[in-house]
Structure 1
Amino acid sequence: MSSLPETTAVGALRSRYDRLAAEGAIVPDPHQAKVVAALDRLLSDLQARPLDNRPGFFTRLFGGGRDEAAPRGLYVYGTVGRGKTMLMDLFLEAAPVEKKRRAHFNDFMADVHDRIGRHRAAVKAGGASGDDPIPPVAKDLAEQAKLLCFDEFSVTDIADAMILSRLFTALFDQGVVLVATSNVAPDDLYREGLNRQLFLPFIGLLKRHVDVLDIGGTQDHRMAKLDRLPVYLAPLGPDAEAQMDEAWAIATEGQRPAPATVDVKGRKIAVPQAAGGAARFQFADLCSQPLAARDYLAIVERFPTIFIDGIPILDAAQRNEAKRLILLVDVLYDRHATLVASAAAEPDDLFKGRPGSTEAFEFARTASRLNEMRSAEWRAAQDEREAH
């Protein structure tokens, strides 16, 4: 449970932002400044209209509490690397709300589906009643958090899309305030999704309860710094470790790395360290586990910047690990992901299997792709794609 700040004055977030800029921790950005101003206004509203213990819609309807609307939330969208997550985390730290929750949106929805499953099991066992699990699930969620902060709001799963309108209608009726970051505007959520017309009411609901703000700009501050560093470090040793840590600090600037999970068809893949759109793994985390293309795709869709520590020299005895590395690099390459890796050898010397074998032939392509992905031309092309 978070502790409340003693005071939250108007402009508190801007003061914190200016201090970080003066310390050199962040690069001042006028596009970010307008988001800071919007978040400061929300902090002021939260100070004036506290969320904790605010009665829900039905309590107010029947005379059990104040009929006072909750403050409008905020939905901030824009390209990756614009500082959206960093600003949301600064806001969350300052928010004068005891019951607050920060989550990646996909993790939150996985929790919602788990709760729905438990409710249905309880109904079947006679421990709960009601055919519709959404109202009791929303009630429990609202009791646990009156302020929800979502990182990377993105709807790709039809199961999520079909319940969002009803779920958030219930959450907003309970007085929950939403702050979210996303790479897309609300109107572009679930754009190519199956049965999208059934999802459209959620977009209207969202716009009624949040202010929408385009952070603007195209400069990815973190990647601009990262572009100045080597992204394939060999051989392994203290120097490579130090450079990996330096690159990781840049890629996660202004964010707190923490363990995370990626949900793939009900399975959870552990991510040892994650912050915003960056994730860091040991080689064994990705290539010594029984992971497949679907798993790597899910990881890269969630985290477009991947760090891999300790890629070893592989031989015929590590055939499975080699095949997974081949598959992983193919996914990273095809999805134009940013890869930062430390390895025991240069790409062309990573595989010592039998010459002429299938693995040796396939790994030659992997080595070529690793060399291309570390090149200045590849990284410049990534910047160009981001700009468009």
Structure 2
Amino acid sequence: MVVTAVQSSDTTAIGSLVAVRPAFSADRLLADLVPPRHFADARFATYRANPDHPSQAAAVARLQEVAAEIARPAPSGLRSLLGRRRPAPAVYMDGGFGVGKTHLLTSLAHAVREELGADAAAYGTFVEYTNLVGALGFLPTVDALSTKKLVCIDEFELDDPGDTVLMSRLLRELADRGVALAATSNTLPDALGEGRFAAEDFLREIQALADRFEVLRVDGEDYRHRSVVTDAAPLATEVVRIAAAARPRAVVDDFSDILAHLATVHPSRYGALLDGVEVVGLTGVRPVTRQEVALRLVVLVDRLYDRDVPVLLAGADPRALFSEEMLRGGYRKKYYRALSRLGALAEDGRALLDEA
């Protein structure tokens, strides 16, 4: 992928995402089912369990046992013929955003990959798996994933009935073929501490698989300590452009232009859209008023976060990116997650300015 260059007001060439048309590749979708770069170093040993929330340490200990169980050789010979095959483990981590569930899920994937080989575990978000089914078809997806020992699903979504049924069926097929499963999702911010509402919803939606899943509660506070994009004022447009011009592999786009461009690119290709990009500048940032536009932006933020791409924001106050109505609606967990993640990336962008 080549980032197209555009000219800024000071005639310095800056990359742009708007002209990029990432090509589709089913092989690329499969190859991308690995732990994201942001969590490349995540391991059970690097997870800092908060002593005020004992469920965190308990989850680490249990997941280490699960990793060992997956890596344990299957019985062979007469023992295999006489014994009843033990179902592969299936675990679901229930908790709010920012408590380290993704760190734990990637740690599990890394542990299995290090013990059994890089091809032993697949890792992706709920959206990436539904996109894979759309690209390959259901049965080819089952065949491709059934070669794995472990399939990890981050951010299992319960707000789209059709996709939820699809994923429930996919998980059932994989479990029946002996593939271990691990999943996460978020409780809503206003439901934290009120019980296992997300777990109950998850178990209800996966229906036939509910009795196979072990629920691991991960309590705690958002370690990023934010539910807004950033407490700092937005940057000036020229500051964003000058900072981007000083760095290779940087891109700058008008916010309205990038939102329009996302509508022309399938969400499964948003990762490829960012190939080779190391800094993203967005000028003219404004509130998003349409739900479908906001949901596409959420996917882009997730891909930026996966890849640790710092973001420079110029325009209106980014704390008003999503309306109050959106933050109260059925997709609010996605929006709060996006705000939390974009906040972390915006702080990374400001750190680049401090280094200059």
TM-score range, shorter chain: 0.5 to 0.7
Deviation of 1:40 (Å): 1.1
Q: Is the 8 A contact 1:88 1:149 kept in 2?
A: yes
1:270 corresponds to: 270
Q: Please state whether the residue corresponding to 2:97 is helix, strand or coil.
A: coil
Q: Which stretches in structure 2 are left out of the alignment for 5+ residues? A: 1-30, 33-42, 188-197, 245-260, 328-335, 348-356
> Is 2:110 aligned against 1:97?
no
Structure having greater relative contact order (Cα 8 Å, sep ≥ 6):
2
1:151 matched to 2:149? The reply is no
1-structure distance, mates of 2:179, 2:263 = 28
1:42 aligns to what?
66
Change (3 A) 1:135 1:310: closer
Q: How does 1:158-173 map to 2 (within 5 A)?
A: 158-173=161-176
Q: Residue deviations 1:146-180, cap 9 Å, x none?
A: 21111111133333233334322221111111111
Work out the CA distance in 2 between the residues paired with 1:155 and 1:265: 26
Question: After TM superposition, where is structure 1 displaced by more than 6 Å over at least 4 residues in a row?
Answer: 63-66, 225-229, 237-241, 262-266, 284-287, 304-307
Maintained 8 Å contact 1:135/1:170:
no
> Is the Cα contact below 8 Å between 1:101 and 1:148 reproduced in 2?
yes
TM-score by length of 1: 0.50
Distance 2:141 2:81 in 1: 21
Q: Which residue of 1 aligns with 2:209?
A: 206
Match of 1:142 in 2: 146
Structure 1 segment 275-354 matched on structure 2, within 5 A: 281-283=280-282, 294-300=292-298, 308-311=311-314, 331-334=321-324, 335-336=326-327, 337=336, 338=339, 340=343
Distance in 2 (CA, whole Å) between partners of 1:227 and 1:330 is: 9
C-alpha contact (below 8 Å) 1:107/1:263 kept by paired residues: no
> Matches of residues 27-176 of structure 1 in structure 2 within 5 Å?
30-49=54-73, 68-95=85-112, 96-98=115-117, 99-116=120-137, 134-143=138-147, 145-176=148-179
Secondary structure of 2:184's counterpart equals strand
TM-score in terms of structure 2 length: 0.54
Per-residue displacement from partner, 1:40-95 (whole Å, max 9, x unpaired)?
110221232459xx9xxxxxxxx999852243121001111111101111221112
1:168 counterpart SS class: helix
Larger Rg: 1
* 2:234 aligned residue: 232
**Structure 1: runs of 5+ lacking an equivalent:** 3-12, 55-62, 117-133, 190-198, 242-261, 275-279, 313-324, 343-388
Aligned residue in 2 for 1:359: none
Q: How many residues align?
A: 245
Task: Give the partner amino acid of 1:146.
Answer: K
Q: 2:281 touches 2:313 (CA, 8 Å); kept in 1?
A: yes
Q: Deviations over 1:180-209 (max 9, x none)?
A: 1111424224xxxxxxxxx95x53333222
Q: Is the 8 A contact 2:123 2:151 kept in 1?
A: yes
What CA distance in whole angstroms lies between the structure 2 residues aligned with 1:69 and 1:282? 51
